[in-house]
Structure 1
Amino acid sequence: MGEDLLKQWNPFDIFDTEAARLDGFFSGLAEGDEEWQRPSRCAGWSVRDVLAHLAGEELYNHACLDGNVQDLLARLAREGVNGFHDFNEWSVRQRRALPVGQVLDEWRTQNGETRARMRALGRDALIDTMAGPYPVGWQTFHYDSEYATHADDVGAPVADAEADGRTLWRVAVGRFVLAEQESKAQVEQTADEIWVCADGVTTTLSYPEFVAATVGRLGPGHELDPRVAAALRCLA
């Protein structure tokens, strides 16, 4: 049932589109532009930090493709880096003193290789992950969601013509991951909203609100019951 949600979308095309969106945004900022220091929507990170995170994450992405995730985790543990949160913060710290152009080139090159290799493998092949062998297509959808989330975090523009389609695939990915994780949230999609029940609390969300809930970006002013918000958060 869960995988049927994703059948109509090509994860590799989406990955290319979201990477291009981020690249276009970052490339439009000059080296000393104050915009790099602007706080992003990702708590605690500036726009520059988001780029550094994306660049650093390629270390893990390539380990997945190379089949040596456990070796990478062991090496990071020896350096005092444990878990994804530590890894993300460590990746950002490692690049804060580097010229931003160098970080951009690093990310662009390494991510280009990741996207090409995953597309070449195809969606049904398996790659190594922290959770063990996992289908390439599903892993790519996880990356798609992360890239779309971070594009929104830094304010990369989305054309009106693509906004609705982009929201629809993100709804599908959110529903897929909730099912994959056996979330306690019951979710039903109608023509224009999402009905959710969690811990005895029921509510309806617009598609964009549901996407924001799955990635923890509803914002402090949103009135969604905390129990429902916690049950829906399943992605970046």
Structure 2
Amino acid sequence: MTSESDLLQDLDPFDIFDAEAERLDRFFSSLGEEGWNGPTRCAGWSVRDVLAHLAGEELYNHACLTGDIEGFFRMLEREGIPVDDAYGWVDRFNDWCVRRRRGLPVEQVLREWREKNGETRRRMRELGRDTLIRTAAGPYPAGLQTFHYDSEYATHADDVGAPVSAEEAGFRLEWRVRFGLVALAERKSNAQVERDGDRIRGRVDGLTVELSAADFVEATVGRLPEGHPLDPRVRSALRCLA
């Protein structure tokens, strides 16, 4: 199994989290009304809805930091969100976060996200990468959890079209490839993958594929375009992140 020490030890997840949050903040701060209402890669969500999702999910992030996952689930149940299945509650929670913020001024939602996410980033950095925190899946190292946040923020930045400079692009792709490989190993995916420079070779159910690093990242987060020729079985096996 690919371990964190193999691929991630020389990367600082907290610096990456700061960089991706700052990218989103710069983008959100530049928007007018038309921009907030613009489409994204998230089906049915506008740019404003993606912000609402990011603001709302801080409820979960803070529950992990305080160790009160049970209290978080009780809150969901009070709001009519069933939590009696493994991860089906996640989509229902995300939808609820967006719906309950659609009637609020966007400036208020942006302020909520900045404050709550700023606290999350500060507290995760203070904990350090080896401290265990409570998550819905059980105890988990804060550093690895932060890499999950990094991946989600990078994905949503791409979803809304937040700019990435040429100077940033290479490092950003590199850490996302590495974390994608780690996440696949964590999920015990039936995809057997290996990296060869800027290509990723994989084998799934007897199918052998080769992807660019960029397409591999998009596959891990479920963002390959519909017309991409990758076999659906391989797509499913490679999907391991938000």
The CA distance in 2 between the partners of 1:192 and 1:72, in whole Å, is 41
- Match 1:136 to one of 138, 142, 148: 142
> 2:59 aligns to what?
59
> 1:106 aligns to what?
112
Taking only the aligned residue pairs, the percentage that are identical comes to 65
The normalised TM-score by structure 1 is 0.98
> 2:182 aligns to what?
176
> 2:193 aligns to what?
187
- Contact persistence 1:2–1:175 (CA under 8 A): no
Task: Report the Cα offset of residue 8 of structure 1.
Answer: 1.5
* SS of residue in 2 equivalent to 1:44: coil
What stretches of structure 1 move > 6 A for 4+ residues in a row?
none
38-47 vs 56-65, greater mean Cα deviation:
38-47
1:43 aligned onto 2:49:
no
> 1:17 aligns to what?
19
* SS of residue in 2 equivalent to 1:167: helix
* SS of residue in 2 equivalent to 1:42: coil
Task: Report the Cα offset of residue 97 of structure 1.
Answer: 0.2
Equivalences, count: 234
Task: Report the Cα offset of residue 46 of structure 1.
Answer: 0.6
Task: Report the Cα offset of residue 161 of structure 1.
Answer: 0.8
* Aligned residue type for 1:78: R
Task: Report the Cα offset of residue 79 of structure 1.
Answer: 2.0
* Aligned residue type for 2:216: F
* Aligned residue type for 2:3: G
The CA distance in 2 between the partners of 1:76 and 1:45, in whole Å, is 21
Aligned 1:64-213 pairs, distance under 5 A: 64-82=64-82, 83-213=89-219
The CA distance in 2 between the partners of 1:173 and 1:160, in whole Å, is 21
Unmatched 5+ residue regions in structure 1?
Answer: none
The normalised TM-score by structure 2 is 0.95
1:84-112 C-alpha deviation (Å, 9 max, x unpaired): 00000000001000000000000000000
* Aligned residue type for 1:70: E
1:107-147 C-alpha deviation (Å, 9 max, x unpaired): 00000000000000000001110011110000000000000
